[in-house]
Amino acid sequence: MRGIVAVFANMSLAIDESSILGQGFYGRVYHGALDSECVAAKKALNGASVTEESRLLELCDHRNVVKYRGLLETGHHNEYFLVMELAQGGTLKDHLGANLFSFNEKRLLLQQICSGLEHIHSRNILHRDIKAENLLFRDLHRRHVLIADFGGAEMYQENVRKINTHDVVQDHEYTFKSDVFLLGLVTYQTFEDLQHVDRLTLAGRVLRRHRKTPIADPGIYTARIWRTIIQSLDWRSERRPTASEFNEAFADAAA
């Protein structure tokens, strides 16, 4: 086993670099232990850094956002590990496509994702990467979701206009409503139980389906959830609901 052992916030931190929990383009996440608690430790890849991610995650404290434990600097060539709560149940993406969740379970999962995003937005943070690979199950019961991966997140600055370079959201400027667009896509993906989706064309597909199907006949959805998905995918970002309004659509499945 290749590992790192360090004293961290007066606790003993061990990172097992032979036990990889997952990997994306910008980071690899290892299994670790902080005293007796199992944790996850993320190291940056491909020129990325976990220091800004760590700063933003530290600002959040919510049951549906992965908990920050600290930032470890190992002393080797600017090597940092972002230490966080371990999510034991895999990603939402891993569990789509197998008909594992009932309508009500999906509704409750989406409600938690909305609550987590509402909290992130209340901290003035744009997540920028809401997708099924970044939504993790806290444990093997898979009833509790955590929003993870703040690698692309940034603070929202009201008077700073930046050209949006997001690969999926086409908004002129990236705002909280752009996160809501991504929330709309993952909501549709979850309800349709699709493991693989082309997110670039998904919004168009949903809106075409909407034109053919009247709102009074929303299929597997409630009229309110279907209407909220459609609104969240509106190309005019100001017409989209906030994360908190989106949340309300799931509160009452009968509405």
Ligand X SMILES: Nc1ncnc2c1ncn2[C@@H]1O[C@H](COP(=O)(O)OP(=O)(O)OP(=O)(O)O)[C@@H](O)[C@H]1O
Residues contributing to the annotated binding site for ATP:
43
Taking CB under 6 A as the binding criterion, the range among 127-135, 195-203, 215-223, 240-248 that sits at the site for ligand X is 127-135
Q: Give the count of residues interacting with ligand X (CB under 6 A).
A: 23
What SS3 class is residue 4? Answer: strand
User: Annotated binding site, which residues?
Assistant: 43
Q: Which residue is nearest to ligand X (CB)?
A: 24
User: Is 138 or 240 the residue whose CB approaches Mg ion more closely?
Assistant: 138
Nearer to ligand X among residue 136 and residue 249 (C-beta): 136
| 149 catalytically annotated | no
- Residue 198: how many other CB atoms lie within 10 Å: 8
Q: Which neighbouring-strand residues pair with 21?
A: none
- What is the spatial distance between Cα 96 and Cα 210, in angstroms, rounded to a whole number? 23
CA distances (Å), origin 71, targets 5, 37, 85, 198, 224? 14, 16, 12, 34, 42
Please give the residues from 136 up to 175 whose contact with Mg ion meets the rule CB under 5 A: 149
Q: Give the interface segment with ligand X, choosing from 9-17, 21-29, 174-182, 234-242 (CB under 6 A).
A: 21-29
DSSP 67-122: PEEEEEE-SSTT-EEEEEEPP-S-BTGGGSSS--S-HHHHHHHHHHHHHHHHHHHH
Catalytic residue set: 129
What residues make contact with ligand X under the rule CB under 6 A? 21-27, 29, 40, 42, 66, 84-87, 91, 129, 133-134, 136, 148-149, 151
What residues make contact with Mg ion under the rule CB under 5 A? 24, 134, 149
